[in-house]
Amino acid sequence: MRSSRYFLPTLKETPADAQIASHRLMLRAGMIRQGAAGIYSWLPMGLKVLRKIEQIVREEQDAAGAQEVLMPTIQAADLWVESGRYDDYGDEMLRIEDRHGRKMLYGPTNEEMITDIFRKEIKSYRDLPKNLYHIQWKFRDERRPRFGVMRGREFLMKDAYSFDLTAEDGQKSYNAMFVAYLRTFARLGLKAIPMRADTGPIGGDLSHEFIVLAETGESEVFFDKAFDGLDPMVEAAAGADLQPIVDEWTSHYAATDEIHDADNCPVDAGNLITGRGIEVGHIFFFGEKYSKPMNATVQGPDGDTVPVQMGSYGVGVSRLVGAIIEACHDENGIVWPEAVAPFKVGLMNLRAKDEECTAACDKLYQQLTAAGIEVLYDDTDTGAGAKFANMDLIGLPYQLAVGPRGLKNGVVEVKDRKSGEKLELTPEEAIAKLTA
């Protein structure tokens, strides 16, 4: 993509409303623009990152045996009356009426709807287990939206729902999601710690929050050093027993500051790590909480009709964009992990008016693009300093700077955004390095 054609409105100055790093940087890097409190438009580069995160989440859900569906954003209130949550949910639910005066709502989550879909079709234990998920916009009318997309009112969420005959089977479904989450966050370039959690309004007995570590995270977290030794990229054969893995990850101490009690902490100070984190995922097993009131039942092998055992599993996809930036930035801007970077390489023509320089850049752009590398090519006729600053701000993993000075000696400069390491290479070497 050429910068001269790309819609990438970066800002030199920081908008006054943005307090935290990710919000500031997303606005400055031209990723989002605010529509109303907690509601944002996603501009091309922001959307590109959002889609990449979404895709990784999707791949791991699919790999874990979940199947993608897509439920609507607008739901009829009836189902919520049936589950008893229409009154319980309170002002966080955006309630609307259609032209016929029918009560509707913009979905804050989808337990009721998925349960309704399930109960209408599934009648036998032979059809279990099932895990259905979707990635859809949700709306929760937060009292105080803040931190940009980290706590917006409208947000993109992956939510999966598992259905099993027994609680034991439900635990297996839970474990599959647990492992999928470990892998998902690791692939996104994050360090995530599962923590035992309150179940809140979703309800249920078994629940873990996944907290990604970021120095500027919203809450303080405490966890056993032992987590550092665990490998989140769990490889497990289909149908394998995941319980030992889950046990290992849940056997070590981890708690947010709300729960942590320094005086009674089971981990001695030498092994306790204190950090800050952001909640990006939350998984629940809640058994019959919705299946019972909503009559989502199947016939078991013995002929008895029983409520199905359910769990739900959320990932804050849009929040992850902010969380990744919180975990990956420096004073100059964003430092994207390669897996979610909007482009891998930022190619800078340092002297757009110089024909040789432009020819060299055009060629590099063509070669890299042909090799399947996503390149943002700054072909504009602006000062070199502005280009470097802008590239640092948007945080592409590699910068490829091409100017007359280097070309005279047959070299271009490749900079690693994260380490800051700069290499002078021939164009051929640069291509080889960037396509490796």
| 305: Cα within 13 Å, side-chain hemisphere | 8
Number of residues that bind RNA (CB under 7 A): 75
Residue 283 or residue 298: which is nearer to RNA going by CB?
A: 283
Q: Which of residues 389-418 bind RNA (CB under 7 A)?
A: 389-393, 399, 401-407, 412-413, 415
Q: How many CA atoms lie within 13 A of 1 on its CB side?
A: 15
- Out of 76, 122, 384, 418, the only residue in the binding site for RNA (CB under 7 A) is 384
Q: Is 307 left (phi over 0), alpha (psi -120 to 50) or beta?
A: beta
Confirm or reject binding of residue 276 to RNA (CB under 7 A): no
The answer to whether residue 195 forms part of the interface with RNA (CB under 7 A) is no
**Cβ-based nearer residue to RNA, 40 or 227:** 40
Q: Would you count residue 279 as binding RNA (CB under 7 A)?
A: yes
Judged by CB under 7 A, does residue 344 bind RNA?
no
Q: Which stretch binds RNA (CB under 7 A): 76-84, 112-120, 139-147, 426-434?
A: 139-147
Residue 196 CB, shortest distance to RNA, in Å, is 13
16 or 233: CB nearest RNA: 16
Amino acid letter at 75?
Answer: Q
**Phi/psi class of residue 411: alpha, beta or left (left: φ > 0; alpha: ψ in -120 to 50)?**
beta
| DSSP string computed for 277-291 | EEEEEEEEEEETTTT
What does the block give as tokens for 281?
Answer: 């995922």
For the bound state, the minimum distance from the C-beta of residue 159 to RNA, rounded and expressed in Å, comes to 8
Cα 212 from chain centroid (whole Å):
10
- 48 vs 372: CA distance, rounded Å: 16
The residues in 144-183 that bind RNA, with binding defined as CB under 7 A, are 144-147, 149-153, 155, 157
Closest approach of Cβ 19 to RNA, in Å? 4
Q: Is 314 in the site for RNA (CB under 7 A)?
A: yes
Which token pair is 46? 């922001």
Q: How far is the CB of 165 from RNA (least distance, A)?
A: 27
From the list 117, 122, 352, 373, which residue makes contact with RNA (rule: CB under 7 A)? 352
The Cα 239–Cα 414 span in angstroms is 45
- In the block, tokens 């996603």 appear at 42
Nearer to RNA, 47 or 352 (CB): 352
